[in-house]
Structure 1
Amino acid sequence: MAWNAEPHLNWILTHARMKGLQVLVDGLGLRLRDEGMALMRVRLGMRTTHPLTAALSFLWEHGGGPIVQFTAPQGLETRSSYVGSPMEYIGQTRKPFRCSLREPLGPEDHVVLHELQRRGGTDYYGVPLDFVEGAGGILMLVSEDPEGFAEDDIVLIDTLATAIAPIAEAHGNFHLATAIAQSYLGPRTGQRVLDGQITRGDIEQTEAAILFSDIRGWTALNTTQSAEHALDVANRYFEVMSDAIDNNEGEILKFLGDGVLALFPSDGTDAGQVKACRQAISAAHAALGIAKLADLPVPFGTGIHYGALLYGNVGARERVDFTVLGQSVNIASRVEAFCGRLDEPVLISAPVARIAGVATRHVGTEVLKGMDAPMALHAPIGI
């Protein structure tokens, strides 16, 4: 049948582009199916830049339940599900790929084609979505019509793909920006940057429990071990701290050499202060447990303080950094520095001990660097 592409193009460019790629893929499958194209599947895939995710896919299947966005982990290029597949061919050549599933397939045909044929697919067609930057995406459709796709169907798909490409690229760029912001700054801080808090001097005063932690004996480790081994140990330690902090609603703001700076935000109320301090203590406790289970080969110390701080952008005119400043941050760092000297894995300041209201041991009263008055340091009992 001869298709009128205009209604579908209008829908793509007005409604679907505002709703996200999953809505676009779902709607496209349903619209074309309702107008007579016997579609079995529509899939949109594209590569992404993310430390854990190599690609995003959005899938619609006729007669199936709701399917949400799914991801492919890093290392996709080496997996049998990708090597030799239509996706690899389209991705490398940037040319369309079509395969009739009405005839017997051979061993040279990828397993995905055999699977679609067994499920009743009769024709496979994939078309590249060309982006201005990057590798682009791929739109793949599978027919279950006994005759497969008609040539008018292919013309329509190619036409619609040209309209879908820039929309997919825009959503991909947003995903990239989100991934970069959250990977390098954390979910809360990264979202602030995405929301526009990017100007130097754009700073707010807030309160939080501040957690500092670092590896003991890092200099000796680097002296006696290879750089590769030291880096592996550091990454294992960072994973331990990340799991513990994330599970207690904190956020790692920075990795500082062999150390970690994390915040547990508070709304400033009495209840908020108690919650933040207890979450930080719980994270420190959890980190020790995770490290033991993971057989982490190095000890580490953790210091916790609570107080006001400045949170936002500082830096030069063309190079800014999202960070925290203030005496409370300095105190947390100084508290952690006493972990090795006092042989304690976790130390908390007197304000944290008072606010948290948990059982502690007084381990010393010390003059912290940069402070005139001595401060009592406590170790949470049970850690």
Structure 2
Amino acid sequence: MNREQLDSINGWLIEQGLLGASETALVDGFCSRLRDTGLEIAQAVLFFDTLHPVQESEGVFWNVASQGRSEVREFWRHEAMRNAELWRGSPFYYMTERDLCELHIPLEGSVESQFGIIPDLIAEGHTDYFALIHKLGGESRIGEIENMCSRWSSAKPGGFKPDDLNALRILVASLALAVKAASLNQIAKSLVEVYLGRDPGRRVLEGSIERGRVETIRTVLWYSDMENYTSLSETMESGQLIAFLNDYADAVISAVHAAGGDILKLVGDGILAIFNHDDPRAAAQAALQARADAALRIEELNRRRREENLATTSVYLALHEGEVFYGNVGSDERLDFTVIGPAVNEVCRMAAMCSSIKETALASREFIALMPKEQRPAFHDLGSFHLKGVQDQKALFALRG
């Protein structure tokens, strides 16, 4: 590879990194350009850690036999033991233990190796292997994102030439920087969605961060909590309680997300969500779909817990519709992207009524008004009630079936 070709690929990486190209687009374009210069990459794999509650790391796999299109493989935290075993058997673990930044293993002739990947590559006809580790961040790193590990192999007779290896040393460093930019962008999206909710997260990343910047919307409100949380919290060991709360929250949040809702707030066992459709009637139907789905998920959770002689639970739910303020509330140092207004207070107070009136799901008159006539008989009119902190009485309806 001559200097002009080297500079061209390097310039392309810088441009794509600045434009925010994805990891797969970067790897696809990079490998294609290497091959165009005569550096015949047959397979490339990049590994890098991420910052996500359930995903530990990510790998981008490129193979010329797959039309040169890469695929992403995710490594999950619940598979940590398996992932650690794979890591300890890899060349990258060997390199980190010895503080090596590169490892070159020619694959032609008689090759003995302690690494399981090497016999696999030889069986596929590969002739050379080159691994690199690039440090990411140092003291300023985010979370556990320390390195980008990459491996490059060739099937060309004679393998990599010295100039090929030197080109990889120079260019993969630029690729690592571009991939780091893409990864940090994805981390930002993941974290704001996980901690703020999908729609609030998107709005924050689009620039809706000004304190007091809110809009008025009409939306369907959901508030739910665990039926027996208080008694469980007083009698259950903390580790078991947290595990139970996580399983319960996973069931409800998954149901809300599957129906198109957005989770805005988790307060202990309480879950505040909105269903914000152009057609409020569609929003109400989505909320009912989420309620049915959540009931099935909680039923399955309870079945598994009963088999282990563990405590079970059910959901207290309130559904309401009203006008709310949606946006940034707080101080310059600490903002929250949420909904506020009387309707929010009302739906929370409605959920608190479930226990005293022996109902598991309640709806307001405003919510019932969004139902088609043929669906309204499924809702039983319970009369009007005083809700704590609400001036006027609220008509409540039981959701049954």
Q: Is the 8 A contact 2:92 2:133 kept in 1?
A: no
Corresponding residue for residue 101 of structure 2: 95
Mapping of 1:220-259 within 5 angstroms? 220-259=231-270
Of 117, 120, 123, the residue aligned with 2:125 is: 120
Of 136, 151, 161, the residue aligned with 2:172 is: 161
Query: Where in structure 1 are there 5+ consecutive unaligned residues?
Result: none
Q: Is the 8 A contact 1:368 1:375 kept in 2?
A: yes
Alpha-carbon distance between aligned partners in 2 of 1:328 and 1:104, rounded to the nearest angstrom: 75
Does 2:378 correspond to 1:371? Answer: no
Alpha-carbon distance between aligned partners in 1 of 2:33 and 2:76, rounded to the nearest angstrom: 31
Deviations 1:176-225 (A, max 9, x none): 11111011112211111111111211211112111111112222111111
Alpha-carbon distance between aligned partners in 2 of 1:88 and 1:194, rounded to the nearest angstrom: 36
Of 347, 354, 379, the residue aligned with 1:332 is: 347
Mapping of 1:5-44 within 5 angstroms? 5-15=6-16, 18=19, 19-44=21-46
Shift of 1:38: 2.4
TM-score computed with the length of structure 2 as normaliser: 0.88
Q: Is the 8 A contact 2:361 2:399 kept in 1?
A: yes
Of 301, 306, 322, the residue aligned with 2:337 is: 322
Q: Is the 8 A contact 1:20 1:171 kept in 2?
A: yes
Of 275, 280, 304, the residue aligned with 1:273 is: 280
Query: Where in structure 2 are there 5+ consecutive unaligned residues?
Result: 306-311
Corresponding residue for residue 309 of structure 2: none
Alpha-carbon distance between aligned partners in 1 of 2:7 and 2:125, rounded to the nearest angstrom: 30
Does 2:296 correspond to 1:289? Answer: yes
Q: Is the 8 A contact 2:103 2:132 kept in 1?
A: yes
Corresponding residue for residue 62 of structure 1: 64
Does 2:90 correspond to 1:85? Answer: yes
Shift of 1:312: 1.1
TM-score computed with the length of structure 1 as normaliser: 0.92
Corresponding residue for residue 355 of structure 1: 370
Alpha-carbon distance between aligned partners in 2 of 1:340 and 1:103, rounded to the nearest angstrom: 76
Corresponding residue for residue 308 of structure 2: none
Q: Is the 8 A contact 1:213 1:301 kept in 2?
A: yes
Alpha-carbon distance between aligned partners in 2 of 1:192 and 1:110, rounded to the nearest angstrom: 46
Corresponding residue for residue 114 of structure 2: 109
- SS at structure 2 position matched to 1:69: strand
Alpha-carbon distance between aligned partners in 2 of 1:54 and 1:307, rounded to the nearest angstrom: 40
- Provide the aligned C-alpha RMSD in A: 2.0
Alpha-carbon distance between aligned partners in 2 of 1:49 and 1:325, rounded to the nearest angstrom: 30
Shift of 1:14: 2.4
- SS at structure 2 position matched to 1:184: helix
Aligned length: 377
Higher helix share: 2
Q: Is the 8 A contact 1:342 1:363 kept in 2?
A: no
- SS at structure 1 position matched to 2:328: strand
Q: Is the 8 A contact 1:277 1:356 kept in 2?
A: yes
Deviations 1:13-46 (A, max 9, x none): 2246533321221122122222222221122221
Does 2:319 correspond to 1:304? Answer: yes
Q: Quick check: 369-378 or 202-211, which moved more?
A: 369-378
